Structure 1
Amino acid sequence: MRGRLLALLLAGVLLPAGLAGCGIPAETGVQVDGSVPAGEAGSLNGPPASPPAPTDSDEPVPFIENYLRAAAAGERDDAYTRARSFLAAEARNLLPGKPQTSEVELTVVRLRAKPESTPANPQGIFTVRIKVQQVGVLRADGTLGPPGATETEYVFQLRRAETGLLITNLPNVLLTSDAALREYYRSRTVYFWNSDQTRLVPDLRYLPSSVPAERRVTEVVKWLTGGPSDWLAFGVTGLPDGTRPINNATGADSQWEVNLSMPGATEARLARLGTQLAWSLPELTGHLDLKIQNQKRLTVDLERERDTDPAYPRGANPSRFSVYDGVVHPLAIGNERRDPVPLPAAENRNVVSASFARADEHVLAAMVVTGPDRKVQLKVGTGPEPVAVFTRSDRAYHSMSRPTWLRSLDENHSAGLVAADGKLYRFDGTAEMNLVPLNVSGSVVAVAGSLDGHRIALVAGGAVYVAPVSVEGGVVSLGPPRRLPTLLTGVTAVDWITEDQLVLAGNDPERRSAIHQLTIDGAWESTLKSEIGAPVTQLAAYPGGGDRGLPAFSYMWETNGGAWRNNPFDFVTPEQVLGLPAGSRTANPTAPFFLY
Structure 2
Amino acid sequence: MRLLIRAGMAAATVAVLALSGCGLPSGTEPKYVSPAQSPAAAQGGQKTPPKPTDGLTSEQLVASFLSASVGANLASDAEPDANQEALIRMRGYMTPGAAANWKPTTTKGIVIVRDPQIKSVGIGNGRENVTLQLQPLGTLTNNGDVRAWAGSPAIEAFYQTVLVGGQRRFDDAPRDQVFISETGLRNWYAQQPVYFWSNDAADARLVPDLRYMPSTLSRAKQVAETVRWLRAGPGQLLGSTVAGVPDSIEFKDTPVIEDNDVKVNLSGKANSQGKDVLSRLARQLRWSLPDHQPVKLSIESQDSAGVDSEGYLNDNPAVEASQVDQTRYIVVNESVRSQIIDSGTPEDPLFVAGPDNTGVVAAALNRQGDRAALVRKSGTGSKAEQRLYVSADPPVANPPRYEATNIAGPRLSRPAWITYPSKRLMISDGTRLYVSKAANGRELDPVELGTLSQVPISAFAVAPEGRRIAFVSAGTLMVATLTVDDNGKFSIGAPTQVSTSLGDNQAVGWLTETTLAVGGKPNAKSTHPIAPNIAEPRYNLVAVTIDGAQEEPLPQSLTRPEAVSDVTELVCRVNRPGFPMDYPVLYEANGVAQRMFTSSSEAMWPQTGATPATPVPGNNPTSPFFAD
Question: Common fold, TM-score beyond 0.5?
Answer: yes
Q: Distance in 2 between matches of 1:108 and 1:192?
A: 25
Residue 496 of structure 1: which of 488, 493, 510 is its match? 510
State the secondary structure of the residue aligned to 2:505: strand
- Listed one character per residue, the Cα deviations across residues 383-409 of structure 1 (whole Å, up to 9, x for unaligned) are 546386754343531222112233236
Tell me if structure 2 keeps the 8 A contact 1:77–1:104.
Answer: no
Match of 2:423 in 1: 414
**Greater mean alpha carbon deviation, residues 238-247 or residues 271-280:** 238-247
Shift of 1:435: 4.4
Match of 1:552 in 2: 582
Residue 396 of structure 2: which of 373, 379, 386 is its match? 386
Name the aligned partner's letter for residue 476 of structure 2: A
Counterpart mapping for 1:55-454 below 5 A: 55-72=53-70, 75-92=82-99, 95-97=102-104, 105-111=109-115, 113-120=116-123, 122=124, 125-147=127-149, 150-163=152-165, 164-167=167-170, 168-196=172-200, 197-241=203-247, 243-261=249-267, 265-281=273-289, 283=291, 285=293, 288-291=296-299, 296-302=303-309, 305-306=312-313, 311-312=319-320, 316-332=324-340, 340-343=348-351, 345-359=354-368, 363-372=370-379, 373-381=383-391, 383-384=393-394, 386=396, 390-394=402-406, 396-408=408-420, 413-428=422-437, 429-437=441-449, 439=452, 443-454=456-467
Q: Distance in 1 between matches of 2:496 and 2:604?
A: 34
State the secondary structure of the residue aligned to 2:525: coil
Q: Distance in 2 between matches of 1:510 and 1:41?
A: 34
Shift of 1:417: 3.0
Q: Distance in 1 between matches of 2:499 and 2:221?
A: 31
Shift of 1:514: 1.3
Match of 2:565 in 1: 534
**Greater mean alpha carbon deviation, residues 278-287 or residues 322-331:** 278-287
Q: Distance in 2 between matches of 1:38 and 1:314?
A: 13
Q: Distance in 1 between matches of 2:546 and 2:185?
A: 15
Q: Distance in 2 between matches of 1:307 and 1:415?
A: 21
Q: Distance in 2 between matches of 1:227 and 1:479?
A: 18
- RMSD over equivalenced CA pairs, Å: 3.8
Name the aligned partner's letter for residue 50 of structure 1: T
Q: What is the TM-score normalised by the length of structure 1?
A: 0.80
**Greater mean alpha carbon deviation, residues 398-407 or residues 305-314:** 305-314
Shift of 1:314: 10
Shift of 1:303: 5.2
Q: Distance in 2 between matches of 1:526 and 1:371?
A: 39
Is 1:482 the counterpart of 2:496? The answer is yes
Shift of 1:559: 1.6
**Greater mean alpha carbon deviation, residues 319-328 or residues 242-251:** 242-251
Q: Distance in 1 between matches of 2:576 and 2:346?
A: 17
Q: Distance in 2 between matches of 1:308 and 1:457?
A: 22
State the secondary structure of the residue aligned to 1:150: coil
Name the aligned partner's letter for residue 416 of structure 2: T
- Listed one character per residue, the Cα deviations across residues 105-130 of structure 1 (whole Å, up to 9, x for unaligned) are 1111112x53122222x575422133
**Greater mean alpha carbon deviation, residues 377-386 or residues 76-85:** 377-386
Residues 391 and 134 of structure 1, relative CA distance in 2, 3 Å threshold? farther
State the secondary structure of the residue aligned to 1:595: coil
- Listed one character per residue, the Cα deviations across residues 130-178 of structure 1 (whole Å, up to 9, x for unaligned) are 3443221111211122239934243323131424323215333100112
- Listed one character per residue, the Cα deviations across residues 303-325 of structure 1 (whole Å, up to 9, x for unaligned) are 55448999426971221101112
Name the aligned partner's letter for residue 145 of structure 1: R
**Greater mean alpha carbon deviation, residues 476-485 or residues 148-157:** 148-157
Match of 1:508 in 2: 523
Name the aligned partner's letter for residue 165 of structure 1: R
Shift of 1:477: 2.5
State the secondary structure of the residue aligned to 2:564: coil
Name the aligned partner's letter for residue 411 of structure 2: S
Residues 323 and 478 of structure 1, relative CA distance in 2, 3 Å threshold? same
Tell me if structure 1 keeps the 8 A contact 2:138–2:147.
Answer: yes
Tell me if structure 2 keeps the 8 A contact 1:371–1:396.
Answer: no
Residue 566 of structure 1: which of 596, 601, 605 is its match? 596
Tell me if structure 1 keeps the 8 A contact 2:65–2:90.
Answer: yes
- Listed one character per residue, the Cα deviations across residues 15-35 of structure 1 (whole Å, up to 9, x for unaligned) are xxxxxxxxxxxxxxxxxxxxx
Shift of 1:503: 0.9
Tell me if structure 1 keeps the 8 A contact 2:340–2:606.
Answer: no
Residues 60 and 333 of structure 1, relative CA distance in 2, 3 Å threshold? farther
Residues 258 and 333 of structure 1, relative CA distance in 2, 3 Å threshold? farther
Q: Distance in 2 between matches of 1:356 and 1:97?
A: 54
Tell me if structure 2 keeps the 8 A contact 1:321–1:328.
Answer: yes
State the secondary structure of the residue aligned to 2:500: coil
- Listed one character per residue, the Cα deviations across residues 239-295 of structure 1 (whole Å, up to 9, x for unaligned) are 22464322221242225332235575233321211221222236255551242x555
Tell me if structure 1 keeps the 8 A contact 2:39–2:193.
Answer: no
Name the aligned partner's letter for residue 104 of structure 2: G
Q: Distance in 2 between matches of 1:114 and 1:180?
A: 15
Q: Distance in 2 between matches of 1:467 and 1:282?
A: 26
Is 1:592 the counterpart of 2:624? The answer is yes
Shift of 1:327: 1.1
Residues 256 and 572 of structure 1, relative CA distance in 2, 3 Å threshold? closer
Shift of 1:590: 0.3
Q: Distance in 1 between matches of 2:214 and 2:322?
A: 36
Tell me if structure 2 keeps the 8 A contact 1:107–1:174.
Answer: yes
Shift of 1:593: 0.5
Shift of 1:76: 3.3
Match of 1:24 in 2: none
Q: Which runs of 5+ in 2 are unaligned?
A: 1-34, 73-81, 527-537
Alignment: residue pair count: 543
Residues 67 and 593 of structure 1, relative CA distance in 2, 3 Å threshold? same
Tell me if structure 1 keeps the 8 A contact 2:260–2:293.
Answer: yes
Q: Distance in 2 between matches of 1:316 and 1:521?
A: 27
Is 1:517 the counterpart of 2:543? The answer is yes
State the secondary structure of the residue aligned to 2:286: helix
Residues 241 and 378 of structure 1, relative CA distance in 2, 3 Å threshold? farther
- Listed one character per residue, the Cα deviations across residues 528-577 of structure 1 (whole Å, up to 9, x for unaligned) are 14552321111111112599xx9821211112221111225211224469
Match of 2:17 in 1: none
Shift of 1:60: 1.2
Match of 2:482 in 1: 469
Name the aligned partner's letter for residue 67 of structure 1: F
Name the aligned partner's letter for residue 487 of structure 1: S
Q: Distance in 2 between matches of 1:60 and 1:46?
A: 32
Tell me if structure 2 keeps the 8 A contact 1:71–1:83.
Answer: yes
Q: Distance in 1 between matches of 2:330 and 2:162?
A: 63
Q: What is the TM-score normalised by the length of structure 2?
A: 0.76
